[in-house]
Amino acid sequence: MSPKPIPLEENPEAFYARFQAHALHAYLFPEPWGSPVLEVLVQGHVLYAFDRGAPPAPTGPVRILLHGVAREVKPLEREPFVERQGSAYRLGGPFRPLGEGFYLLESPVPVVVHADQPLPERAEVLLWPPLMLFRE
């Protein structure tokens, strides 16, 4: 029998509480009732993220935490960036270890990333979809 995988989060509230020091101010655009995908303006970037909060999602300014799981990792060979590739995001910039496989992309948009392998200080990461959004 293979070992049971360790979950990345206990629940959305506990995950937000654990990493709330890395939450940022963002603007949530109106979404249809019950839509799991939110359009968010954060530090000049419009992103689409899976809402991990209880419905309905608020509209307007809110503190959020963005989270993704690394699918591919390589050293960063250009300026920090965030790009959408279909339903996934590719991002690159300086990463800071937070412990237990979690890292913080510090710019251009703070994102808590979980990786099975150690990340270099400056990395390019393709995330598994979806990018997740936790909110207060």
Question: pLDDT by residue (tens digit) across 20-44?
Answer: 999 999 999 998 777 899 999 999 9
Tens digits of per-residue pLDDT, 67-126?
999 999 999 999 999 999 999 999 999 999 999 999 999 999 999 999 999 999 999 999
Q: What is the pLDDT of residues 45-76, one digit of tens each?
A: 999 999 999 888 899 999 999 999 999 999 99
pTM of the model: 0.92
Radius of gyration over every alpha carbon of the chain, rounded to an integer in angstroms? 15
SS (H, E, C) 9-53: CCCHHHHHHHHHHHCEEEEECCCCCCCCEEEEEECCEEEEEEECC
**Structure-token match 């959305």, residue found:** 12
Neighbouring C-beta atoms of residue 51, cutoff 10 Å: 23
Rounded Cα–Cα distance for residues 112 and 3 (Å): 25
Burial class of 75 by CB neighbour count within 10 A (0 to 12, 13 to 18, 19+): exposed
